[in-house]
Amino acid sequence: MTELTLFEKIVAREIPADIVFEDELCIAFRDIAPQAPLHVLLCPKVPLKMLSETVDGDGELLGHLFLTAPRVARLLGYNDGFRVVVNNGADAGQTVFHLHLHILAGRTFAWPPG
């Protein structure tokens, strides 16, 4: 049997997390090593590995994630000043291979990112 991803274990409550939002398709919880006053990870409940492995059939879910990101930010008090990041692949800094959106807010962000 395939080992559950770290984030599937959070969905299943096998490991604890500070969950701030959940619906039938996705879950959002605070990052364990926050890079901003608000740093939440928004994940699909199904284990998509990374953005570049998504297919046309994932469109509805991807749309849902991007519609949910501003709602989660708003829920936590950040209406427009937030950043959404997806690290795709190890070279881009992805360390957990279960697709997730980083939602960051509460400080000024530099561009280009590091």
Catalog residues that contact ligand 5GP under the rule CB under 6 A: 6, 17, 29, 31-33, 41, 87, 93-96
Find the shortest distance in angstroms from Cβ 39 to ligand 5GP. 7
Find the shortest distance in angstroms from Cβ 87 to ligand 5GP. 4
Which token pair is 74? 């708003």
Q: Which is nearer to ligand 5GP, 10 or 79 (CB)?
A: 10
Residue 39 annotated to the active site:
no
Rounded to 5 degrees, φ, ψ at 62 are -65, -40
**Which of 39, 98, 100, 102 is an active site residue?**
100
58, exposed or middle or buried, with CB in 10 Å at 0-12, 13-18, 19+?
A: middle
Q: Which is nearer to ligand 5GP, 5 or 68 (CB)?
A: 5
Q: Which is nearer to ligand 5GP, 54 or 94 (CB)?
A: 94
Whole-angstrom Cα distance, residue 42 to residue 25?
10
Q: Which residues pair with 79 in a beta bridge?
A: none
Q: Which residues pair with 82 in a beta bridge?
A: 105
Q: Give the residue numbers marked as catalytic.
A: 100
